[in-house]
Amino acid sequence: MRIHRVYIDQPLEPGEPVSLDGRRVHYLGRVLRVAPGQSVVLFNGDGNDYACEVSRVGKSEIAFEVNTRLPARAESPLCVVVAQAVSRGERMDQTLQKCTELGAVAFQPLWSERVEVRLQGEKLARRQQHWQGVVISACEQSGRALVPEVLPAMPLRDWAAIPTKAARLVLAPGAERTLASADWTARVELLVGPEGGFNESELAMLTSFGTIPVSLGPRVLRTETAGPAALAIAQALGGDLAG
């Protein structure tokens, strides 16, 4: 029987009971049909998995006994933050999901000139919460025990002006340099444009702040493809997909 892996936003300690409530109860109890005595792996983003046993299944709560702390085995040696210009609907979700699976450590949503989605106030707060949920679900599926944070969305220029020791790379079709030229042993912030890409003035502004244009090759990729493709290349060059 498959052992289900579930995120829980609570402290976890071997020998201590813990309970889950809210919407996840319906999914675990009615869809996955977990039962008392069944083994489940819980994680809370602290870098560990926890082997647990279901002790009680109720209509509004599921209780667990935490048995053993397990070291995480799915974290990459790379430290790559994906700075993604906000894309529409499922495209943004796909970027977050796939880049989480491929080891991104955080996400920075950005507003740029060609971004077609404009959100403010409560709508933006709900979307940020949704994006974080997409990342958590990807961690559950991929075995990651550290949960990448989706940072508050901000304007591209404001992000570019923030001082950083990280190497900043922007994916730009036709750029002379490639991803292979980057130092993947250091922290990297990987910038991905929106549908339609960055315009010339934005690229000039980015390079004036020290961001380096790099190419993914001769083909122009969709915004939801570019980030995951770049991260997969980075993992093959210097991460845990290297041969």
Range of the domain at 209: 79-238
The answer to whether residues 100 and 139 touch, using CB atoms and an 8 Å cutoff, is yes
- 38 and 107 assigned to the same domain: no
Distance between CA atoms of 61 and 54, rounded to whole angstroms?
Answer: 11
Supply 148's token pair.
Answer: 């990448």
- 63 and 92 assigned to the same domain: no
Measure the CA dihedral 137/143/144/150, to 10°: -10
Give the chain's domain count: 2
Asked if residue 120 is part of any domain, the answer here is: yes
Distance between CA atoms of 26 and 24, rounded to whole angstroms?
Answer: 5
- 134 and 207 assigned to the same domain: yes
The CATH number of the domain holding residue 154 is 3.40.1280.10
Provide the sign of the torsion angle of the four alpha carbons 93, 94, 96, 100, taken in this order.
Answer: positive
The CATH number of the domain holding residue 52 is 2.40.240.20
Output the pTM of the full model: 0.94
pLDDT beneath 70, residues of the chain: 1, 243
Q: Which whole-number Å values give the CA distances from 234 to 21, 110, 210, 213, in the listed order? A: 38, 22, 20, 15
- 98 and 191 assigned to the same domain: yes
- 202 and 89 assigned to the same domain: yes
- 100 and 141 assigned to the same domain: yes
CA 37 to chain centroid? 32
Domain boundary among 71, 96, 126: 71
- The confidence score (pLDDT) of residue 29 equals 82
Provide the terminal-to-terminal Cα distance of the chain, rounded to the nearest Å.
32
- 27 and 126 assigned to the same domain: no
- The confidence score (pLDDT) of residue 51 equals 97
Give the SS3 label for residue 104: coil
- The confidence score (pLDDT) of residue 1 equals 63
- 55 and 92 assigned to the same domain: no
CA 243 to chain centroid? 24
- 147 and 201 assigned to the same domain: yes
- The confidence score (pLDDT) of residue 178 equals 94
Asked if residue 115 is part of any domain, the answer here is: yes
- 147 and 203 assigned to the same domain: yes
Domain boundary among 71, 93, 127: 71
Kindly state the DSSP code that residue 150 receives in the 8-state scheme.
E
- The confidence score (pLDDT) of residue 27 equals 80
Supply 99's token pair.
Answer: 């880049």
Asked if residue 243 is part of any domain, the answer here is: no
- 204 and 146 assigned to the same domain: yes
Asked if residue 173 is part of any domain, the answer here is: yes
Asked if residue 95 is part of any domain, the answer here is: yes
- The confidence score (pLDDT) of residue 243 equals 62
- The confidence score (pLDDT) of residue 28 equals 87
The answer to whether residues 43 and 9 touch, using CB atoms and an 8 Å cutoff, is no
- 84 and 167 assigned to the same domain: yes
- The confidence score (pLDDT) of residue 137 equals 96
Supply 1's token pair.
Answer: 């029987």
Kindly state the DSSP code that residue 88 receives in the 8-state scheme.
-
Domain boundary among 44, 71, 98: 71
Asked if residue 213 is part of any domain, the answer here is: yes
